[in-house]
Amino acid sequence: MLKTLTVWNFALLEHVQIEFERGLNILTGETGAGKSILIDSLGMILGHRTSIEKIRKDRDWLRVEAVFDTSKYPQVHDFLQRSDIVDEDDSLIISRQIAKTGKNTIQVNGCHVTLTSLKMLGELLIDIHGQNENQALLRTENQFALVDAYKIEIKTCLAVYQTAFVKWNELKESLKQQELDSREHAQRMDMLSWQVNEIEAAKLKEAEDEGLEQEIKLLSNAEKISDLVKSSYRLLDSGDKRQPAVIPSLVEIKKNMEMLIRYDTKLTNVMQMITDALCQIEECSYEIRDYGESIDYSPERLNKLQERMDEIYKLRKKYGATIADVLEHYHNAKKELLAIENYDQRIEDLKYNIVQAEKDLAVKAVALTKLRQSSAELLSADIQKHLLSLGMENARFVIEIKDDAIYHMNGANTIHILFSANLGEDPKPMQKVASGGELSRIALAIKTVCAAKDKIGIMVFDEIDTGIGGKTAQMVAERIAMVAAYKQVLCITHLPQIACMADVHLYIDKQIQNNKTVTQVRPLSTSEQLNEIARMASGIDITAASLDNAMEMLNNAKLKKESFRQNK
């Protein structure tokens, strides 16, 4: 519910604060007093674009602030939480200020928001019914929304259908992508097959290259190694003219020690160390001799090893720094190759799954169509009843739901609203035959029928009384009062039939203050409302008869409103 609307420096509105109540809030006043400015200022709070030309003369900015009670509107709380906006219990404060510099400042509960976010929030709060909104009836998406909202089961059925549609559509997209990738898959398969075969042919072993590198190093230096072995063995065992052998020399030393310890046992430990050294050196000599005899230098073997190493180097250069990396690439390539080789099977599986998904989608589409047709029939009948009461005695209103050969996210249906205003004429597409005035009454009939089901808590009627009078005006007034039984309504009107239905009657007038025009808004007392209804009905001169007529209108309106509230 809109509790207060405060406006600063908006055209003729220098500073106005208006308090609204539940039910029907009527705004009346002389032509040119600024009633439309109030609607514009309310639109500014809802995210409508506003020109800096609206800023009052001699002022640098305009500002509008609205306070809402959102206790009965969970969708508003959900939006605030999703948008990371402070949710202060059941109070919502929206303010918007526009400066002549073009700066646009928007706050919701003290949090700065974008114009886009404000517009989305505004759509949850207020439904403004005017000439532009009548044209919205002609849009297909809005027509579907009417039918779907009228029968509560459709929401669940549509959600089930949409889940099936998304699954079916994703499968189709997957198949399309698979088929587009077929040429690339063939090329990839050839490349992977070649790589797998190349690595398999090499018959690699883990760490094989490390052993090969060691053996190649040995064979490449075989001659040098042989010379070093022979020299070492000769120095240990036989010696030469320049240098005696180590082992014979140690044997002589050992003999000397054996003779010495006969005279002095102090050299016993020395004797033992020489004996041990001789044993170890003799063992070294044998191992050096055996090592030298084991060296088998073969140029053929070296060439073979180098060829193998070249093969490994090439594979490592292509597929990884080590044999382990090459083998990992091999296993990955085999896996991918297997997946590609199953490509044809995957396409067949996708085609089968698409057929099954489409069968499931068709069942859900039929269920949705039946519910929509049932809803359309009931909604059409209800709307036609209200059209008859709105002075369109010969009107025929039909909502036609048919099957569509193509599945869409919103179902597999087409929708057409057919209308005929005259007796004997077949209903035809509404957008082709309905006049502006007829569209306005059709829209009012729809708002009346859907008032209890609509989640938006505030309805604004702007220029609803254009071009009507008499009995039709009375019927329009009653429909607005019916809507007000379910939600808060703000309505600007020139008709006493509508004004007398007010739960709160606000009067807008224009005054001159300090050589400037100022618009003021104030609530009317009971007696002031009576005089205003009399003025609207009879003109400037208010007579006893016009007051009696106004009183009768107010009393009848009171009875009507009580009846609407009891029957809601």
* Strand arrangement, sheet containing 504-513: 126-129, 458-461, 488-492, 24-29, 504-513, 516-523
The H or E element containing residue 506 is strand 504-513
Position 520 scores a pLDDT of 86
Q: What b/e sequence results for 206-229 when a residue is b if at least 16 CB atoms lie within 10 Å of its CB, and e otherwise?
A: eeebeeeeeebeebeebeebeeeb
Position 178 scores a pLDDT of 83
CB 492 within 8 A of CB 35: yes
Position 212 scores a pLDDT of 87
Position 288 scores a pLDDT of 87
Distances in Å between the Cα of 91 and the Cα atoms of 23, 69, 86 are 19, 5, 10
Q: What angle do CA 294, 307, 220 make, to 5 degrees?
A: 40
Position 92 scores a pLDDT of 93
Cα 395 from Cα 389, distance rounded (Å): 10
Q: What angle do CA 200, 201, 206 make, to 5 degrees?
A: 60
- Please give the full DSSP string across 156-210, using - where no structure is assigned: HHHHHHHHHHHHHHHHHHHHHHHHHTHHHHHHHHHHHHHHHHHHHHHT--TTHHH
pLDDT (tens place) for every residue of the chain, 568 residues total: 999 999 999 988 889 999 999 999 999 987 766 778 888 899 999 999 888 999 998 899 999 999 999 988 888 999 999 999 988 788 999 999 999 998 999 999 999 999 999 999 998 999 888 656 666 677 888 889 889 999 999 999 999 999 999 999 999 999 988 887 766 777 888 899 999 999 999 999 888 888 888 888 878 887 788 888 888 888 888 777 777 888 888 898 999 999 999 888 898 999 999 999 999 999 998 998 888 877 777 788 888 988 999 999 999 999 988 999 999 999 999 998 887 877 778 888 999 999 999 999 999 999 999 999 999 999 999 999 999 888 888 999 999 999 999 999 999 999 999 999 988 889 999 888 888 778 888 888 888 888 877 778 899 988 777 777 788 889 889 999 999 999 999 999 989 999 999 999 999 988 887 777 778 899 999 999 999 999 998 877 788 999 999 999 999 999 999 988 887 6
Cα 476 from Cα 479, distance rounded (Å): 5
CB 467 within 8 A of CB 550: no
Helix pair angle (268-294, 246-263), 10° resolution? 160
Position 155 scores a pLDDT of 94
Cα 536 from Cα 208, distance rounded (Å): 106
Position 469 scores a pLDDT of 79
Domain boundaries, the chain: 187-341
Q: Which of 122, 65, 119, 73 lies closest to 97 in space, CA to CA? A: 65
Give how far the C-alpha of residue 5 lies from the chain's centroid of Cα atoms, to the nearest Å.
Answer: 33
